[in-house]
A and B are shown apart, each in its own frame.
Chain A
Amino acid sequence: DVKVTQSSRYLVKRTGEKVFLECVQDMDHENMFWYRQDPGLGLRLIYFSYDVKMKEKGDIPEGYSVSREKKERFSLILESASTNQTSMYLCASSFPLVADTQPDEQFFGPGTRLTVL
């Protein structure tokens, strides 16, 4: 079974702190994604990566950065946490897109509920 793990289920940080959220997948997936989920807004893509050291901005990258030094690990960094970054953060991974086919399903981690005080 594909397994996507996230470093913490719950995290409480203070405004201005630097926050690292880690995601690891064990299925050799090329694609990895970071989303945040807020009530009534669904999932919003922050960043995604389609290969080691490659990254692309999603819909809401402001205030975040990412790192993909190894294929299995994708880190989300909040350089200076703010209260409006309190949210549920979900990591996902998938196989790469093959021409003329549907994107593969994304496999999700359990999520990290981050509270910024």
Chain B
Amino acid sequence: SQELEQSPQSLIVQEGKNLTINCTSSKTLYGLYWYKQKYGEGLIFLMMLQKGGEEKSHEKITAKLDEKKQQSSLHITASQPSHAGIYLCGADPDSNYQLIWGAGTKLIIKP
């Protein structure tokens, strides 16, 4: 079955440093969604990418979808404590209601 691989599983970054999280699929995706989850809470929508080569930014977070629409990266510039949490990618493989999800990347920011 379709799977999304997220890497790394966890990440500890010094405050102020940049970081990248990846999300990879073996098949072309119709859409790719990035969410953030504070520990023990629900998911907050960050960005959605649809087109090959698309790039979106919000504050210090930039997400890109490759041309083949099989891989996405989430880049955080000058990380802050508020960026800590779990980042999940979700994707639509079949253009229907159901999204598939990566296992998540746990991000810890060291002060």
Number of A-B contacts (CB under 8 A): 62
Contact with B along A35-74 (1 / 0, CB 8 A): 0000011111100101000001010000000000000000
> Are B90 and A43 closer than 8 Å at their CB atoms?
yes
> Are A45 and B98 closer than 8 Å at their CB atoms?
yes
Contact with A along B40-51 (1 / 0, CB 8 A): 111111001010
* Closest CB in chain B relative to A76 CB, distance in Å: 15
Complex Cα distance, B44 from A111, in Å, reads: 12
> Are B96 and A102 closer than 8 Å at their CB atoms?
no
Instruction: Count B interface residues, CB 8 Å.
Output: 27
> Are A111 and B41 closer than 8 Å at their CB atoms?
yes
Complex Cα distance, B98 from A43, in Å, reads: 12
> Are A90 and B99 closer than 8 Å at their CB atoms?
no
> Are B98 and A48 closer than 8 Å at their CB atoms?
yes
Confirm or deny: B88 has a beta carbon within 8 angstroms of a beta carbon on chain A: yes
> Are A108 and B42 closer than 8 Å at their CB atoms?
yes
26 A-B pairs, CB-CB below 8 angstroms?
A4-B42, A40-B9, A42-B104, A43-B88, A43-B90, A43-B101, A44-B101, A45-B98, A48-B97, A58-B98, A90-B42, A92-B43, A94-B97, A97-B95, A102-B48, A102-B50, A102-B92, A103-B31, A103-B92, A103-B96, A103-B97, A105-B33, A106-B45, A107-B45, A108-B35, A111-B41
